[in-house]
Each structure stands twice: as structure tokens, then as C-alpha cells.
Amino acid sequence: MYFELSEEHKMIRDAAREFAQELKAGAIQRDEEAKFPFEFVKKMGELGFMGIMVPQEYGGAGLDTLAYVLALEEIAKIDASAAVIVSAHNSLVLWGLNEYGTEEQKQKYLVPLATGEKLGAFALSEPEAGSDASSQHTIAEDQGDYYLLNGTKNWITNGGNADIYLVIAQTDVGKGHKGINVLIVEKGYTGFTIGPKENKLGIRSSDTHSLLFSDVKVPKENRIGDDGFGFKFAMKTLDGGRIGIAAQALGIAAGAYDLALAYSKTRKTFGKPISDHQAIQFKLADMEVEIEAARLLTYKAAWTKDQGLPYGKEAAMAKLHASEVAMKHTIEAVQIHGGYGYVKEYHVERLMRDAKITQIYEGTSEIQRLVIAREILRA
């Protein structure tokens, strides 16, 4: 097996690492004010990160999933909020449009999304459904040449600032999960309103909103795939989304580790750097081992997807392990910083708060274990 990155992948990683340094100066203020990073989203579009896996013919960078993971990891090391904006946009919106959209849908929606001119959001979760795509209470009633959309979506990343929304809705209750569709909804459609912004523990400069649909007319040509394709679309999209979450979690953990390692070499107690104390060395060693394991799982999931192989189990494993490592070792990074870790200027408390959501969205850790168990029992 060959573990060295290609020169192209190294260039992507380095470009993302360089850009991420621009995010650092205002990260604390954006977090405190829950301020969306408009200028940086625009810059990420210019750098190609907002359409990194989309073919060049549709305005994207034409790169693979591994390149995407490398970029996300570097951005999340500094600002997980910026990383989740990129992740939701790419994994949950652009991938599905590129994979299953018609040529007309790609020209109208994928191109401006891939260039970063417009922002996308994926609307699956509901007050009673979470990531359970089979339990949809949002209804899209077939009216001939359009659907009449009614319902509520919760916890939608990019919900307030998106221009284009992929909405999962039930069209035929009698068919169960086979009666679900995915519809492209534009901001500004009559009857579509955006709820208040959520006041979150972490990833605070990304925006999370509820979406409300009241007799929203969605043209029939805005349905992606055949009638009843929505459930399969959601499942495929969530698999890819978990790779993005794993990359975010990996970046958060690695960013906290970098800060803890640097601090341990400069902070002195009893006349020597705390990195000379065995207790700190053990913490750093455990962090390095578990973060590297998360990195290998995440990169393998990306590679598996790029090979055209089934990757549901690999994505779930990467997401599960990386998110648990992120939570565990951001706490350790705060501990290594001592009292300084508890104040905002050292960044690690923000990374600790950001880490928690990686165990929750795209399915909780318990859901990932169910996905993994289902795959290994089926083998």
C-alpha cells in the first residue's frame, strides 16, 4: 500500500492550509458574534473549494474526494464553522446535483453553486425526524405540473444564507419510503420562509435555521430523479456527507493537538517546559496516535469512494472514530492549557465546543454504529 500524497493533493492541502491562516485572526470574534463569514465564503469560491468535486465543465475544480477531505481538514483546524459551510454545500448539495441532476438542472443550479456565486443547503431533518429520511412529515402534493410543498425543516446548515435548497419531502404516504422525492427550491419562492437563527454551542459563525413551507409551488422539473427517488438520494448523500463530517472532526482534533503541542513547549512549571513532564507526554502521545488513526480512516473512506466502490461502512467508521477523537482530544487540549485553555484567546475552548456537533449531525455516534453493524452482519 502507498500512503504518500500525490503532488496535486499536496498542493491542495497547502493551498487550504495557507488560506486557513486568514481565517484565524477573526475566528474568535465571529464565534462570539455568531457572524457568518461572507468574505471568506467568497474567497473559498475563488479558490475552488466551493465546487471542489464538481467537473470543470460545470464550473468546479474537477478534483476528487481525497482532495476535498484534505482541504476540509486544513480549514477545520482553524475554523470549523467555515469548514461546515463548505462541507454542507459540497457533500449534501453539489454532489447529489452532479450525480443525479438533469443537464438542465446542472446548468441552472450546479454551475452557480460550483463557482461559489450561490450557496446551497440540504433540508432533510425535521422536528420529529432528525436524519431519518424515511419519516418525512413535509408533504409535496402532486398538482400536475408542480408540487405543492408544506412542512417544516429543522437544523439546516446554511439555512439563512443559501440560495438553493434540496428539500426531501413525502409525495405519497401510502408508498412509505418509496413515495419520497427531493425537490430543488429557490430562496424567494412564495410561501417559503426562514425561521430564526439558532443560538448554538459551537460552529457559531455558520448559520443554522428552520425552514417553513406553506403552499410553496415547486415546478415539476425541479424534482431530482424519477418519482420516489428521494429516499435513495438522501441515503447516498448522507454516506458522502459523513466523509465530510469525518474530515471536519479530524481537522478540529488536529488543530487542538497543534495548539496543545506548541503550548506544552513554551509553558513552564517547576523550572522546565510542561512537555518534559511524563503526564503531558502521555497525553500528547495518545492524541497523536488516535488522530492519525482517524486520519487514515477518513482518507481511506475518501479513497474508497473515489474508486467507485461501496463506501457506506467506511464513511460511518471514519465519522464515528474521528468525531469521538475530536471530542476527547479537544478536552485534553484544554486540560494541557490549564486555566488558559478555558479562555477564548487560546482558541482551544472554541475547538472543544465545535467538536461536539460532529458526534451529532449526519447521524449520531449510535446511528453510525448501527450502520457499521448492519454492513458487517450482512457480509
- Report the CATH number that the domain containing residue 323 is assigned in CATH: 1.20.140.10
The answer to whether position 47 is within a domain reads yes
Residue that terminates a domain, selected from 86, 119, 152: 119
Residue that terminates a domain, selected from 119, 140, 169: 119
- Cell digits of residue 123: 433540508
How does residue 336 score in pLDDT terms, banded at 50, 70 and 90?
very high
22 belongs to the catalytic site: no
How far apart (Å, rounded) are the C-alpha atoms in residues 291 and 17? Answer: 18
The number of folded domains in the chain is 3
Whether residue 195 is found in the same domain as residue 257:
no
The answer to whether position 1 is within a domain reads no
What pLDDT is stored for residue 1 in this prediction?
Answer: 75
pTM > 0.85: yes or no: yes
- How many CB atoms are located within 10 Å of the residue 220 CB? 13
Instruction: Check whether 114 has a pLDDT greater than 90.
Output: yes
DSSP of 28-63: HHHHHHT---HHHHHHHHHHTGGGTTS-GGGTS---
Tens digit of each residue's pLDDT (9 = 90 or more) over 124-135: 999 876 656 667
Which structural domain range is residue 282 located in? 237-378
Residues 6+ apart with CB under 8 A from 256: 326, 329, 330, 332, 333, 348, 351, 352, 355
The answer to whether position 2 is within a domain reads no
What pLDDT is stored for residue 131 in this prediction?
Answer: 59
Instruction: Check whether 115 has a pLDDT greater than 90.
Output: yes
- Cell digits of residue 254: 488536529
**β-pair type (164-170, 120-123):** parallel
Q: Which of 73, 126, 290, 362 is catalytic?
A: 362
Residue that terminates a domain, selected from 178, 210, 230: 230
Residues 6+ apart with CB under 8 A from 298: 69, 73, 243, 246, 247, 250, 318, 322
